[in-house]
Amino acid sequence: MNTGELIKTIRTLEIKTKGLTKHVFSGQYKSAFKGRGMAFSEVRDYQIGDEVRTIDWNVTARYNSPFVKVFEEERELTVMLMIDISGSSEYGSEKRSKKQRQIEIAATLAFSALANNDKVGAILFSDKTELYISPQKGREHVLLILRQLIEFQPKNTGTNISESLRFLRNTHKKRTVSFLISDFESDESFMDDMKRTKKRHDIVAIKVNDFSEYNLPLLGWIQFFNSETNDTTWVNASSESTKKLFKKEFDFRQSKLSDEFKRSGIDHVIIDTAQNIVPPLVQLFKSRR
């Protein structure tokens, strides 16, 4: 992709996702993700029913009249986009790949954060951390993240979700809202690291699927290629029973993953490459109110 095509792609993505942020997610994001705590706002005259512990004794002594401190929720957040760019992210059977869908989701979340004046950063990972972009505010920074998402080429093809979670914990001691966007197809166990990360950060899992992963076409022998290991497998897809077994195994893995997220108290949502991203993201936001 040359520079002109890249700029055009980013601009199209910005227009589309900013429109979603403004017209669809307005207020949803803000109510779904809370600030770190309560921050001092102002003082006002004491009123009957105010708690004694909120009295500002210095101001009260100065004016010889009771005043109380008023606190507001500290809204500013640090949002981290943790995006799986392993080999399987390039897979896609319809109009877009998992990677393209992940970029669209990440852009929507980034512009939602931008509209709320939050900092946004990114961790791009395979079986190691491929690229880290520290959190900052502003449109130019969001566009920088999108550019890297579109054109960055990972050195490795494998997946290690635990490694990315450890990197997050090591680089961010203070609380973040972190969106982990992946197909979660990994041979390595990562749920324990998800639980550890949840103790310090607000972690949300977004799983991206493709239709063909659970809907095997009846086309005789089909060769499957694993883009992470370079292994190939031939499957006889000529029978309805094979197709049903294929779907059953996929459903089992997905149900098992969803159950593990629920038991661990980790919010998650599943989005298909051919699916409109708005309904599942809106539902995710609403479920967190």
Looking at residue 167, which CATH number applies to its domain?
3.40.50.410
CB atoms closer than 10 angstroms to residue 234? 9
> Are 107 and 203 contained in the same domain?
yes
pLDDT > 70? residue 173: yes
Within a 10 A sphere around the Cβ of 90, how many other Cβ atoms?
14
Strand 37-45 relative to strand 67-74: parallel, antiparallel, unpaired?
A: antiparallel
Distance, CA of 114 to CA of 65 (rounded, Å) = 42
H helices present in the chain, as ranges: 3-23, 28-32, 57-63, 98-115, 139-151, 161-171, 191-200, 240-263, 278-287
Let me know whether 40 and 139 are in one domain: no
Could you count the other beta carbons within 10 Å of the beta carbon of residue 82?
27
DSSP assignment of 164-217: HHHHHHHH--S--EEEEEE----SS--HHHHHHHHHHSEEEEEEEE-GGGT---
Residues 6+ apart with CB under 8 A from 53: none
Same domain flag for 162 and 219 = yes
Same domain, residue pair 148 and 64: no
Work out whether the CA dihedral 274, 279, 282, 287 comes out positive or negative: negative
Same domain, 275 and 144: yes
How many angstroms separate the CA atoms of 144 and 135, rounded? 11
Helix 3-23 with 139-151: angle, nearest 10 deg: 120
| pLDDT at 215 exceeding the cut of 90 | no
Give 244's contacts (C-beta < 8 A, 6+ positions apart). none
pTM listed for this prediction: 0.81
pLDDT confidence bin for 13, thresholds 50/70/90: confident
**What is the average per-residue pLDDT within 2-12?**
80
Choose one of 23, 55, 74: the last residue of a domain: 74
Q: Three-state DSSP class for 268?
A: strand
Q: How many domains are contained in the chain?
A: 2
Residues of the chain above pLDDT 90, percent? 50
Q: Which two tokens stand for residue 33?
A: 């993700």
Q: Are residues 80 and 68 in the same domain?
A: no
Based on the domain organization, do 57 and 15 belong to the same domain? Answer: no
Q: How confident is the model over 17-59, as pLDDT tens digits?
A: 887 787 667 678 877 886 655 555 678 888 888 888 889 999 8
Same domain, 93 and 211: yes
pLDDT band at 149, cuts 50/70/90?
A: very high
For residues 195 and 65, membership in a common domain is answered with no
Q: Is 148 found in the same domain as 45?
A: no
Give the domain range for residue 68: 36-74
Return the pLDDT at 102. Answer: 96
Ranked by mean pLDDT, which of 1-15, 125-139, 235-249, 271-285 comes out on top? 125-139
Q: Answer yes or no: do 186 and 79 share one domain.
A: yes
Q: What is the CA radius of gyration of the chain?
A: 23
Q: How many residues does the chain have?
A: 289
The per-residue pLDDT for range 237-282, each reduced to its tens digit, is: 777 888 888 889 889 999 999 999 999 999 999 999 988 898 999 8
Could you read off the pLDDT of 77-100 as tens digits, one per residue? 899 999 999 998 988 777 789 999
Confidence at residue 212, expressed as pLDDT on a 0 to 100 scale: 83
- The predicted pLDDT at position 54 comes to 86
If asked whether residues 49 and 15 sit together in one domain, one would say no
